[in-house]
Structure 1
Amino acid sequence: MKDKGVNYANISLTFYYALNNSYNLPVANFTVPGFYQGHEKKAHRRKVVEAVGLPWAAAREAVSNGSTVSFRVGLATRVKYKILVWFTKRQSLVVVGDVAVDGSGEKVKKKGIKLKSGAPDMRCRLVIVFTFLVILLL
């Protein structure tokens, strides 16, 4: 963000536990208050979130066998960018990321969590529109 600042609205985090290989069991919700991240600045937020409804027995059994337990983190917020002296319109941001945890409760991968959007790729939309125009012209 070399030339922009970002103003985040409240950030809603939802944590899901992988039960029977699908992330259908929400175990925690948390809201980070909105903040402004200035030009070329980094923002770090550390909070402790308490999990409720997590099947601890199943999780302990899975990690005692040497395997990992998977969680999914969902993030939803609205952002607006500050370019020079004015702000852009607010844009919605909804992303998810998967986290694998070992028996000690630590992340398996040392790198950060990669968050991905469920929005379709713009190239796919262009191909569909181009195909529709070709069919229409024929």
Structure 2
Amino acid sequence: MAAEHDSCCSRCVTFLITIGLTALFLWLSLRVDEPKCYLDYIYVPALNKTLNSNSTHNKNTTILFALKLTNGNKDKGIQYDDVLLSFRVFESVNLTRPLGNATVQRFYQGHQKKATKHGNFSGGGGNLTAAVAGRMWYRVDYATAVKYKILFWYTKRHRLWGGANVEIGDSGMKVYRKAVRLGGKNPVVIESGASKLSGRYRALLLSLLLPFCGLWV
């Protein structure tokens, strides 16, 4: 009887360990981290005060930029929809004026990969300059949707958006060389609008484990 009891306990412990490892594997497989989006570079020739005032550069309405996107997931790829960008200039602390829009074409990004996307657009012929307390500020916002590739299938689309205020210096480029996060916890940044995914995957994990839990009721 003791041997049978030990054997039953051993099977129960083995079963519980198996369920625990399965739950951990499913959680790790389904958990995703949203990508991070940065404004890596921006150049406005018309704002470059080091150029000759009669130079055609100063009459140029083109705005050049580079967007950097990072996928921190170790084993999940990301399929991006078109990334829509809008650029505005601050005319006062609480007032902005549109400069133009740009689009980064949809693309796929492998796990733990970084991508830099260059682009440019015309400021529409309007005035690209304004000053707030003697400083030049642009507002840059983005919006897109992504699907995560987990093993051989994709999740449904999840919307992402964010933005940041960017100070432009006398060179026509942003004052600080470090890439500016378009989303996050910085006070001058709008947090990403991504829906929180963890709760959904916890619910899915629970639904997968409930049948096993019934065996012990």
TM-score by length of 2: 0.48
Specify the code of the residue in structure 2 equivalent to 1:52: G
CA 1:10–1:23 in structure 2 vs 1: closer, same or farther (change >3 Å)?
farther
CA displacement, residues 37-57 of structure 1 (integer Å, 9 cap, x when unaligned): 01222111011222125434x
Partner of 1:136: none
1:70 matches 2:142 = no
Q: Larger % of helix: which? A: 2
Could you list the structure 1 runs, at least 4 aligned residues long, displaced by more than 3 angstroms after superposition: none
Structure 1, unaligned stretches of length 5 or more? 123-138
Q: Secondary structure at the match of 1:45?
A: strand
1:35 matches 2:107 = yes
C-alpha distance in structure 2 between counterparts of 1:113 and 1:81, whole Å: 24
Select the residue among 150, 153, 159 that pairs with 1:83.
Answer: 150
Q: Is this contact kept in 2: 1:15–1:28, CA < 8 A?
A: yes
Which aligned pairs between 1:103-114 and structure 2 lie closer than 5 A? 103-114=170-181
C-alpha distance in structure 1 between counterparts of 2:157 and 2:140, whole Å: 23
Instruction: Determine what percentage of the aligned residue pairs are the same residue.
Output: 39
Post-superposition offset of 1:101:
0.5
Structure 2, unaligned stretches of length 5 or more? 1-72, 184-190, 197-217
TM-score by length of 1: 0.73
Post-superposition offset of 1:24:
2.5
- Count residues with an aligned counterpart: 115
| RMSD, aligned CA | 2.2
